[in-house]
Amino acid sequence: MNGFHYVDIVFENVESIIIKADRFVRLDMGPLKENGASAKSYSTDSLQMAISFEDESVLAYDPNSEPHPAGMYTSNPLSNEVAERPAVLGRILHYRDIVNLTFFDEQEQVIKTVYVPWREEDEYTNEYMEVKAEARVIEVKIAER
């Protein structure tokens, strides 16, 4: 996947974080399958990504004590961009609930949205998702088992 400038990682509760492309150490997806009539919406059976971070302090996001969550919906005055609010990167570690990734070009136009595998038995947790943080990299793997 080339040519993207930002990735918006969207979670089950509609929170999201935006990460610049240069923070991705790795981003691999399985084959993409078009979703219905939308030419910019796809599903995949697997996703592996690694996102770099400066130090562990940026992973200190505590969703229970944050006055404003990571989502960008009405009345949230804070940014959800990791470059502006580094601690929101830690949101990935708190819950296994990534739903999709939306890729944007430099002009902030949507290139495509890719939905990751999700077991329908649990509407809040993505049972296919594994995440760990070490050596200044957050690694995420989402694959059907």
**Helix/strand/coil (H/E/C) assignment for every residue in 64-121:** CCCCCCCCCCCCCCCCCECCCCHHHHHHHHHCCCEEEEEEECCCCCEEEEEECCCCCC
pLDDT value of residue 73: 53
Who has greater pLDDT, 136 or 68? 136
- Residue whose pair of structure tokens reads 């136009």 in the numeric block: 109
**Token couple for 59:** 């992973």
pLDDT tens digits, residue range 12-30?
Answer: 988 889 999 999 999 999 9
Of the pLDDT bands very low, low, confident and very high (cuts 50, 70, 90), residue 64 is confident
pLDDT tens digits, residue range 89-116?
Answer: 888 998 899 999 999 999 999 999 999 9
Who has greater pLDDT, 86 or 107? 107
Asked if pLDDT for residue 11 goes beyond 60, the answer is yes
**Do residues 20 and 83 make contact, with C-beta atoms less than 8 angstroms apart?**
yes
pTM: 0.89
- Three-class SS state of 21: helix
pLDDT value of residue 116: 97
Asked if pLDDT for residue 1 goes beyond 60, the answer is no
